[in-house]
Amino acid sequence: MVELLGLTAGLFALFVSFGFMVGVFFGFFGMGGAFLVTPALLILGYPAPVAIGSTMTFVFGTAIIATLKHHDAGQVDYRLGALMFVGITLGIELGSRLVFGLEVLGIANLVVSVAYVLLLAAIGLLFTKNALEADSDEKTESAEATENADSDDDVPAIARRIKSYNIPPMMRLADGSTASLWTISGVGGGVGVVSGFLGVGGGFVRMPAIYYVIGTPLAVAVGTSLLGGLLSGGVGAFTYGRAGVIDLGIVTALLIGSALGARIGSSATAYVNEADVTIYFGLMLLLASVAVGLSELADWLARPILDQLSFVLLIGSSLLVCSMILYHGALAVRRGAGDPTEADK
C-alpha cells in the first residue's frame, strides 16, 4: 500500500482535509486547534502523549501561518501578546498546582470535567447572547449607529467599562487605546490558570478574554490570540519533542491542509460581518460543552458509544461553523464587500 510520511494515502488525505477545516477555524476565531485535533487523534487510536504532542506542534505551525496572515492585515498586537504570555506561563504553573492539590483530595477529575463543561457553556452563551443583541441593535438602530460610528464601536460595552478605570501603569494598545497593565496581567494569569487547570491550549478562553476584558477590536483579539497560540504551541512542542512523542507525518499532513484553511479563515475576518458568524461560534461552544460532557459520561459509565457520539457532535458542529464562514465569505464577495486579497495589501 502507498504510504506518505508513515500514513496510508487515505489517512493522509483525511488529515489534509481535517487540517483545512481546523485551519479555517483557527484563522477566523484564533482558536480550535487542540480543541478539535486531540480528540480526533485519540479516536483514531493514537496514544495520548502522541496525540497531545503532535497537536501542540501542529498548533505551533498553523499559528505561524495564521499570525503572519493577520500581521499582513495589521491585526496583531505583539506587545500585548508578549505581556500576556508572561502571565499565561505563570498562570499555567498555578493551574497545574491546583490540579495536583485536588488530586490529593481525590476530586481532580470531577472538578476539572465539570469546570470544563461549565466554562464552554458560559462562553458559548456569552457569544450567542451578544450576537443576538448586536443583530437586533443593527436592525433597530442602524441610522443612529452610522451617526455615532467610531473605532470604540468595535469594542464590547463591558470592555469599554473596564477600560474606563484607569489604574496605572497604563499601556498603549496597537489600536491607539490604553489598558491597565493590571488588567493585562490579570487576563494573562487567568487564561494561564484555566489552561493549566483544564490541560487545554486555552484559545477558546484567550480570544474572548482579550476581546471582552482588555477591549481590542475582534480582529485584533483573534490575531493576538494566535500569537499566544504560537508561543504556547512552541513551548508545548519543545516539551513533547524532548520526550520524542511527536509524529511529524501527522503534523505535516495536517499543516498542508491548515495552511490553506488558515489563509482563508484569516482573510475572512477582514470582510465577513462578525455578527453573522459569532452566533454560530457561540452555538458551537454550547454543543462542544455537551460533547465534552458526553465524553466524560462515557468514561464514568464505561460506554464507548457516548465517546463516539461526542466526537461526531464536536466534528459536526465545527464543520457547520466552518461551512458558514466559507458561505458568508462567498456571500460578502458576491455583494462586493471587498476582495480579501486586496484587503490584505
Residues binding another protein (CB under 8 A): 5-7, 57, 60-62, 64-65, 68-69, 234, 237-244, 246-252, 255-256, 259-260, 263, 330, 333-334, 336, 339-341
* Residue nearer to another protein on the CB measure, 7 or 84: 7
Alpha carbon distance 4, 11 (integer Å): 9
Alpha carbon distance 197, 183 (integer Å): 21
CB of 42 to another protein, least distance (A): 18
CB of 125 to another protein, least distance (A): 34
Q: Which of 272, 189, 176 is nearest to 215 (CA)?
A: 176
Confirm if 281 and 208 have CB atoms less than 8 A apart: no
* Helices of type H across 106-245: 108-140, 142-147, 157-164, 181-198, 203-209, 218-242
Residue located via cell numbers 489600536: 175
CB of 237 to another protein, least distance (A): 5
* Residue nearer to another protein on the CB measure, 248 or 320: 248
CB of 314 to another protein, least distance (A): 25
* Residue nearer to another protein on the CB measure, 163 or 263: 263
Hey, what's the cell of 230?
504560537
* Residue nearer to another protein on the CB measure, 189 or 340: 340
Give, to the nearest 10 degrees, the angle between helix 9-29 and helix 33-43. Answer: 160
CB of 264 to another protein, least distance (A): 9
- Residue 2 DSSP symbol: -
* Residue nearer to another protein on the CB measure, 150 or 342: 342
Instruction: Tell me if residue 7 falls in helix, strand or coil.
Output: strand
